[in-house]
Amino acid sequence: MTKELLKGNVAFAEAAIRAGCEAYFGYPITPQTEALEHMSARMPELGRVFLQAESEVAAINMVYGAASAGVRVMSSSSSPGVSLMMEGLSYIAGSEVPVVLVDIMRGGPGLGNIAPSQGDYFQMVKGGGHGDYRQIVLAPATIQELIDLTVEAFDIAERYRCIVVVLADGSLGQMMEPAELPPMQEVRKREDRPAWALTGAKDRDPNVISSIYINPAEEEVFNQKLVDKQKVIEANEIRFEQSDLEDAEIAIIAFGTAGRIAQSAIRQAQEEGMKVGLLRPISLYPFPSKAIKDIAAKVKRVLVVEMNAGQMVEDVRLAIEGAVPVDFFGRMGGMVPLPDEVYDQIRKTYAKIG
């Protein structure tokens, strides 16, 4: 395989197809619409299902239906559209069907704008919909990583029968980079659909896909099942990347695009002799709390950089438990921090350690 120049939205859509995604349901919303457009052409060409729904509410419930039939299915959207999907996501979580969702975040709250943002961290990482559940959230920083995580998301979703969200921002959706697509996987054969799926109760007892447990004691048993599953997920699915932290005095913690921008600023600071390293969480749930706590034991101060008013920083502070001070730098509303701005923040943080 060779690298080709790919736009983020097209890249993750094609990656999903290569991962054997059999059905896509979505609704146009900037800055992710190219994904829906790509699917609209490619899926019918391959004899797979594409449907433009009347709303994100309908789209996620179509996803819920197709997932209940045991096929690989996904949707993608951007912040306001994802808000509309929260009801469906809660039902999907409560029914334990595997679903992949890509959120290409934009500035908010409300209608906001169409510029890149990381303002949906709380919404996606802390659950979003009603009730006690968690969803796995993976945050890429490059288009290659967006492709790789989208493919992996389908495997992870099926492994745990859960929701996997690929959380990126508008800049990743819109920009082009050289990247390599994986080989094509065929869709699952009809006869290979999972035993729990709704396929018609022929020669077996009926299957039911439901999120209702009217008896609180039964609901609690189900909640406990989800909690137990979360423990396994937390043990197996933590992903992060770190660099230059061996002898660092300052650790920068940033995810996605903010992590990538921070990397440029760190290089500049290192050239001037500052001992700065980066930890970039890739899985936002499960969060790399232990890795962050271990780093905090070695450095003098931590700087968190985000494209929001300070959301992941709360999880960083929880992980660090006050061991070292945590500074925060964020740009909001669709504004993307410049490497120079982050560099200035590194200098400020560095000055505080004396």
Partner 1 sequence: MSSESLVETLIYSKPQGLTTIGTHYCPGCTHGISHRLVAEVLDEMGLREESIGVAPVGCSVFAYKYFNMDFAEAAHGRAPAMATGLKRVSPDKVVFTYQGDGDLASIGAGEILHAAGRGENITVIFINNAIYGMTGGQMAPTTLPGQKTTSTPSGRDIESHGFPLRMCEILSQMDGAAYIVRRSLHDVTHIRKAKKAIREAFEVQVNGMGFSMVELLSSCPTNWGIDAEKSLEFIKEKMLPMFPLGDYKNLTEMGNGQKG
Q: Is 185 in the site for partner 1 (CB under 8 A)?
A: no
- Render the burial of 320-341: b for 16+ CB within 10 Å, e for the rest: beeebebbbbbbeebebbebeb
Among 62, 143, 258, 304, binds partner 1 (CB under 8 A): 62
Which of these ranges, 153-161, 166-174, 203-211, 268-276, lies near partner 1 under the rule CB under 8 A?
A: 203-211
What burial class does residue 193 get, using C-beta atoms within 10 Å of its C-beta: 0-12 exposed, 13-18 middle, 19+ buried? middle
Q: Does 66 bind partner 1 (CB under 8 A)?
A: yes
Which residue in the set 41, 44, 200, 272 belongs to the binding site for partner 1 (CB under 8 A)? 200
Among 9, 32, 33, 68, binds partner 1 (CB under 8 A): 68
In the numeric block, the tokens 């967006």 are attached to 146
Distance in Å, CB of 91 to partner 1, minimum: 5
Strands 176-179 and 250-253, by their bridges, are unpaired
CB of residue 73 to partner 1, shortest distance in Å: 7
Site for partner 1 in 12-41 (CB under 8 A): 22-23, 25
- The interface region with partner 1, picked from 57-65, 241-249, 256-264, 314-322 by CB under 8 A, is 57-65
Distance separating alpha carbons of residues 247 and 31, to the nearest angstrom:
40
- Asked whether position 51 contacts partner 1 by CB under 8 A, the answer is yes
Burial 229-265 (b: 16+ CB within 10 A, else e): bbeebbeebbbbebebbeebebbbbbbbbbbbbbbeb
211 part of the interface to partner 1, by CB under 8 A: yes
Rule CB under 8 A: choose which of 199, 223, 243, 268 binds partner 1: 199
The identity of residue 66, as a single letter, is A
Question: For partner 1, which is the closer residue by CB, 6 or 69?
Answer: 69
* 69 is an interface residue for partner 1 by CB under 8 A: yes
- Closest CB to partner 1 among 214 and 235? 214
CB-CB contact of 352 with 301 (8 Å): yes
| 97 closest CA partner among 219, 198, 238 | 198
Cα(183)–Cα(84) distance, integer angstroms? 33
Enumerate binding residues for partner 1 (CB under 8 A). 22-23, 25, 49, 51, 53-55, 57-59, 61-69, 71, 73, 87-88, 91, 95, 198-203, 206-212
